[in-house]
A and B are shown apart, each in its own frame.
Chain A
Amino acid sequence: MSYEVKTEAFEGPLDLLLHLINRLEIDIYDIKMAEITSQYMEHIHAMRVLELNEASEYLVMAATLLSIKSKMLLPIHQDEEMEDDFDVQVNDPRDELVSRLIEYRKFKEAAHHLNEMEESRHLYYTRPPADLSGFQSNQQLALFELDVNVYDMLGAFQKMLRRKQLNAPLHTRVSKQDISIKTQMRNVISTLKKSGGKLSFYELFPSMDKMTIVITFLSLLELIKRQFVQVEQKSNFDELFVLLRKEDIDSEFDYEIDE
């Protein structure tokens, strides 16, 4: 039997096995090892383009299949069987593989549900919280100033990417230009300097161009890692702020980035 194989269609050896079981209409509780093994081998043969990393996983599974197949051909010795580790097998060499396949299948199905939820969530939109800083006194700012971790910031970035897509066709598009992270790090620093060392996270992303947004974000992460800047949030309801931590950084900055 010959057919086309799409490597990217499989999420690993277990996914491939489930596919074969489905296609060959095999009972998952009574897998015909000879048939599935030969089909599996045929597939991985056709999937030679695999990354080395993944290939090893497919090959380990191939070895497992062969070993199960050969075990099933052997006559069962009752005594040996008793001495086996219970975790591995009690009576059927296929048991472990079957339970792995069933466990994996559960999550594959769950992933499918998530995909459906993702699609229906794309049908409605929210908006960012309003900027209420005009209502806030300096005293309150000091009292409620709380740092946030990188995950909060990543979340904020993700939200921002969704937000920044809005309005795009109604504005003149930013012409595409290649900027490096290094350059953008300098830009962020000088933008921060110009605004007195503190700026709203979102104000660092005035551009609508996705590439620029991504580069700016990466440069921001780099600056945080190098402790040039710090991210803060006043409270639950407020915006993220980026603070400049090192004042006269130009020489150090150039040195560090250029290395």
Chain B
Amino acid sequence: MTVLDRSGAQQSSPHPAPPPAWRPAGDAASLLPQDTPYRVLGSEPLPVPPALLGDGPRPDDAELLALHGHLAKGRRYNEQATALTKQGSLAVYPSSTGQEACQIAAALALAEDDWLFPSYRDSLAAVARGVDPVEVLSLLRGDWHSGYDSRATRVAPLSTPLATQLPHAVGLAHAARLAGDELAVLALVGDGGTSEGDFHEALNFAAVWQAPVVFLVQNNGFAISVPLAKQTAAPSLAHKGVGYGLPGVLVDGNDAAAVRQVLSTALGRARSGGGPVLVEALTYRLEAHTNADDATRYRADDEVAAWRAHDPIALVERELTARGLLTEAHAAQVGAAAEELASDLRGRMRTEPSLDPADLFAHVYARPTQQLRQQQAQLQEELAAAAEGGPR
């Protein structure tokens, strides 16, 4: 016919074939999260485990006791850090009280060579991983931006610009895979952070490259004052996985054993070439956004109370009690260890850090430019003049 003749299209059969299947294959159903967050603590019938997990064993006694100790230390760390803001030795502290299960599980699920990409709220995860708490708090204390050695600790700097650390995590995981190194990367982000473009781009790159990276969204229901309902209309944040072709898993973020199990499985899968996973942990920030925030402006006390009843430490203690493990001796030992961490931190934060203003110029480039050398000289002169007494 006129049109087709001109366009050079071929006349074809009356039963047209569907368009060639150039779309990437994939089983959508297996990528969707479960209906109910995965939990292992508590004695009522537990939710079906996510497909990814298979039949994971319930945590044994030793693991539960260890988790309990870590959680207690974690809570104490949060309390101590917040107290330090009141005494003025910390500029600001975004507490993870209420979210310790995620923080601890994240740290424990990592293997030696794995990397952690924390966000600004995740200093506890870095501490639980073994990074010196004083170094971790550099950023919030204000003596330097990142106080620990990221290469040595395999903990990336705490990321303040939200979600920007996620593409870094993917790039590092990709580089490790190219090098044939068997490691996985765990990247943390908040519910608010999932709205950023960088979240999207990172998950997409991870899936296309099959990078060994696990994304853990700590959905604590708020981005500062903004509740989840103003952040997303999705059935769950874990439902975002399928749009990238990676599995989404939903877990009770206050159930440390469950989070630990999900992350260990996902990281193990990633390490052995199984590709990225998106984990959404449902949790709650029991304190204000930071010590400077007033949470009563945007949320009701009874909501907070409801979540206190679901406290991650309470969940473990309940299980320990049921198993008859919560002995006086254990409690005393856990308390002492937590107290030791706190007092060490308190003591070492008391001494003022020694700062060298020359550092301002030392790390801008591998070699300072001529202009920076001049500026450094100017500052040195000023400081020398000031030291000699009197301004100017």
Tell me, yes or no, whether A binds B.
no
